Structure 1
Amino acid sequence: MKFTALIRQEGKLFSSLCLELDVASTGATAEEAKSNLIEAIELYLEEATEEEVTTRYQPYSLVAPLEVKVG
């Protein structure tokens, strides 16, 4: 299965979030955060029922930059 990951630095750590399943993880590097997120998703999919996954799954069709006027 393919999912979308949002990875960003927060202080000294990197946080990672699967947008479709709302599963998150962290790591010391962006690559570690990504790897840890993959593991967290795999564990979630192993433990969750099909109904839980179907209920939680929210497909995202677009991730895009936004320009916002301030002031």
Structure 2
Amino acid sequence: MKKDLDYYAGLPYREVIEVDPAGGYVGYIPELRGCITQGETKAEILEMLEDAKKAWISTALDDGMEIPEPLREEDFSGRFNLRIPKSLHKRLAMQAKAEGVSLNQLAMYLLASGLKTAAS
């Protein structure tokens, strides 16, 4: 399949819309760095974001830039390895034992509670 404007424009990129403190809304596509637009309403932002995405992709293609594709659920296994200092490992293990949970459960809880809540 030819990876042209139509190919990339049809991919399911994640669109983020946030309230602009100055008024209106800001919309952007995280995978396409710098692909951002502003508008007065959410409906306007969705339309403008589609135009911004096509312009971003078109420019990237013209400039020979690599165009990242959207992240897919199957790209994530739910596992990752993490090296930490022995002292932190000990503290976490002791806390997990005191709370009656596994180290894995405690680490998962701590990571999840530290993430900024955002609409995905």
TM-score by length of 1: 0.69
Q: Find the structure with the greater CA-based Rg.
A: 2
Q: Which runs of 4+ in 1 moved over 3 A?
A: 58-62
Give the superposed CA RMSD: 2.2
Change (3 A) 1:13 1:59: same
Aligned with 1:18 (options 6, 29, 38): 29
| Residues 24, 41 of structure 2: 8 Å contact kept | yes
Q: Give the structure, 1 or 2, with the largest relative contact order (CA under 8 Å, sep 6 or more).
A: 1
Instruction: Give, as a single letter, the amino acid of the residue that structure 1 aligns with 2:26.
Output: S
SS at match of 1:48: helix
Q: Which residue in the other structure is 1:43 paired with?
A: 55
Q: Structure 2: 5+ residue runs without aligned partners?
A: 1-10, 74-111, 115-120
Aligned-partner Cα distance in 1 for 2:57–2:50: 11
* Structure 1 stretches lacking a partner, 5+ long: none
* Cα distance in 2 for residues equivalent to 1:67 and 1:16: 26
Q: AA paired with 1:20?
A: E
Q: Identify the structure with the greater strand proportion.
A: 1
TM-score by length of 2: 0.44
The number of aligned residues is 63
Percent of aligned positions that are identical: 16
SS in 1 for 2:13: coil
Q: Which amino acid aligns with 2:56?
A: Y
Q: Does residue 1:2 correspond to 2:48, yes or no? A: no
CA distance in 2 between partners of 1:15 and 1:53 (Å)? 25
Residue 49 of structure 1 deviates from its aligned partner by 2.2
Q: CA offset at residue 30 of structure 1?
A: 1.2
